[in-house]
Structure 1
Amino acid sequence: MKFCAETFFTPAGINDYLAYLASSYETARIADWRPSGCVCVRHDIDFDVDCALWLAKLEARHGVNASYYFLITSDLYNVLSRANSRAIQEISALGFEVGLHFDPTVYEGADAKAMHDAYLREKETLERVTGQPVVSASLHNPSTLDELPSLAGVTNCYDPPVFKPESFLSDSCKDFRGKDPFTFLEGSAKESIQLLLHPLHYYSSAGGGYSLSLSRCFAERINRIDRAFRGNRTYQAEIGDQSLLEVLCATQRGQVRS
């Protein structure tokens, strides 16, 4: 298959890629890494849990094994909310590994012991959500860190032998850095490859960039707020039969015209 960035970062594009991946290679979770013969598929969840569940269901249909890493300290989603906890539990129930996406910058100025204690607290929080032990972890934005913290007791996605620059492929910023995501996998026969894909990149039905993917996420969150407020009679009287999303879009169009 031939790589085309314009069509790759779409639901159809990732569906075709997963079909190719499942039919051509043996996929594995990070926890099941071995020196050669497999593609370890990894997903860092930086923004939204809904798109992670969407991709997990797609991967499950194709029989792709993968690991999903969630931020405990995210400003953008809460792993302990009922909806997100259930989504993460569903991902785990589908057979995927759920690991910790650890952001050391949240603990700026912490010494090694304080950083380790924070990591353990986050790990235990995620374990309470899934009811399963966390056996691997990935670091958030490691390229911005002066020093990578030690994550004892788990497989660290950025520690050798799991991580080697020459056998690592990432779609960060929707850019494979000149590598072809199809032909690059051919090297897995000699040395296992770690493949990092961010679900948000494939979440827009129209493709066309981050704005459309984010718009879908925002729309889902607005609809969730709408449902939560429907028991408020004052809100119900104001909104009526319209959805909150419809009201906000109409308001925005009015502001643009004025």
Structure 2
Amino acid sequence: MGKVIVLTGAGGVLCSTLAIALAKQGHKIAVLDLRKEAADVVADQINISGGTAIGVKANVLEKDSLIQAKNEVNKVFGSCDILINGAGGNHPLGTTSNPFLTEEDLNNTVEGFKTFFDLDPEGIQFVFNLNFIGTLLPTQIFAKDMVGKKGCSILNISSMNAFTPLTKIPAYSGAKAAVSNFTQWLAVHFSKVGIRVNALAPGFFLTEQNRTLLTNEDGSLTQRGQQIIDQTPMGRYGKPEDLISSTLYLCDEASSFVTGVVLPIDGGFAAYSGV
């Protein structure tokens, strides 16, 4: 019998792919996204293909919004069995212009140029809130449905830069490190009530958020994009489909003794020293 699976940020490329794959396994899918129209597109695609899904508007940073979303899911599908915390992202105000600080940078007056000393606290806070609080709050709301039930689990989305921070994005790297740490903490905390908690740590996947950073208009790689490929032993970016098998495994009873794991899916990026 299919489970009730709630995915946040599921209007995006990666989590919509997971939603569709899970629906094919016979699960009932609640597609949550800040943009209701994006959630509906994914839900409609699932329903047209013979699956069962609803699109639900939800702001992962607002508890009342999540409570309303939970009520809607419970009314249509019943209580939540599996939660996938997919909402997240970066912000330009938490990003430096250069990977390394030089003395000359301190005198750079080009509009928009940012050193570490220019990083905007509000931008950094936005990134931390979206990734960490945006994981914690949905868990507070939906995990209550899981307490005492069998076969329930939570899957967070961390990042390979939680293991080794990338240049230029201190806020995002730190926020994803917090997600990884929280995953382990929560796995221990929920261990006596039958809820497993794990995380995926994707490497570089081309999404709408990073496409302009990694590729040029003609599809060729930017300098940073080429650096990434050179540092990835498998020599390519990840495809959304690369996340499916690990997600199915961690959400299934086949992994019933697996909790507190942060699984890299990065083509070997985190393992490679560059030499």
TM-score by length of 1: 0.31
Relative to the length of structure 2, the TM-score reads 0.30
